[in-house]
């Protein structure tokens, strides 16, 4: 069983001040995670624990996990695609694909700006 606080290689336990990959271990996070000092039963937490959530217009969620370098841009990313959306949060910029309905990583955003053909367009 996988630890509920293990997300994309990061530990997002509410016991940590921010998501971290320095405390993750495959043997623990993907196995006996209840013995981990950062494990907290999710039923004990309220809605404010864990990842702090930011709502943009009540529709799109930017979580603190996304603040990691995987999603955060220092300057606004650009693309000619009409489905490419950019949101600013806490001094960083985040790209979202309206067709895919998901946030784009930095590398995916760069591909959107480089190529005119997109597999998600009709």
Q: What is the pLDDT of residues 69-101, one digit of tens each?
A: 788 888 888 888 888 888 887 788 888 888 888
Q: What is the pLDDT of residue 61?
A: 60
Helix (H) or strand (E) holding 110: helix 106-114
User: Residue 17 pLDDT > 50, yes or no?
Assistant: yes
Query: What torsion do the CA atoms of 77, 83, 88, 93 make, to the nearest 10 degrees?
Result: -30
Helix (H) or strand (E) holding 113: helix 106-114
Locate all alpha helices (DSSP H) within 22-105, ordered by sequence: 26-29
Q: What is the pLDDT of residue 103?
A: 85
Angstrom CA distances, 6 to 83, 96, 117, stand at: 30, 23, 34
Higher-pLDDT residue of 118, 61: 118
Encoded tokens for 112: 């959107």
User: Residue 5 pLDDT > 60, yes or no?
Assistant: yes
Q: What is the C-alpha radius of gyration for the chain, rounded to an integer number of angstroms? A: 17
Burial of 101 (0-12, 13-18, 19+ CB in 10 A): exposed
This prediction's pTM: 0.47
pLDDT tens for residues 105-117? 888 888 888 877 7
pLDDT tens for residues 30-57? 888 888 988 887 654 443 333 333 333 4
DSSP state of 20: B
User: Residue 122 pLDDT > 70, yes or no?
Assistant: no
Higher-pLDDT residue of 121, 50: 121
């Amino acid at each position: 069983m996988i630890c509920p606080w293990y997300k994309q290689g990061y530990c997002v336990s509410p016991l940590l001040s921010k998501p971290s990959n320095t405390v993750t271990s495959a043997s623990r996070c993907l196995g006996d995670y209840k013995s981990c000092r950062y494990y907290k039963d999710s039923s004990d937490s309220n809605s404010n624990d864990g990842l702090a959530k930011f709502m943009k217009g009540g529709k799109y969620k930017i979580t603190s996990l996304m603040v990691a370098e995987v999603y955060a841009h220092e300057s606004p990313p650009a693309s000619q695609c009409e489905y490419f959306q950019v949101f600013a949060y806490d001094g960083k910029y985040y790209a979202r694909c309206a067709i895919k309905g998901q946030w784009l990583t930095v590398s995916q955003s760069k591909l959107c700006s480089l190529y005119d053909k997109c597999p998600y367009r009709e």
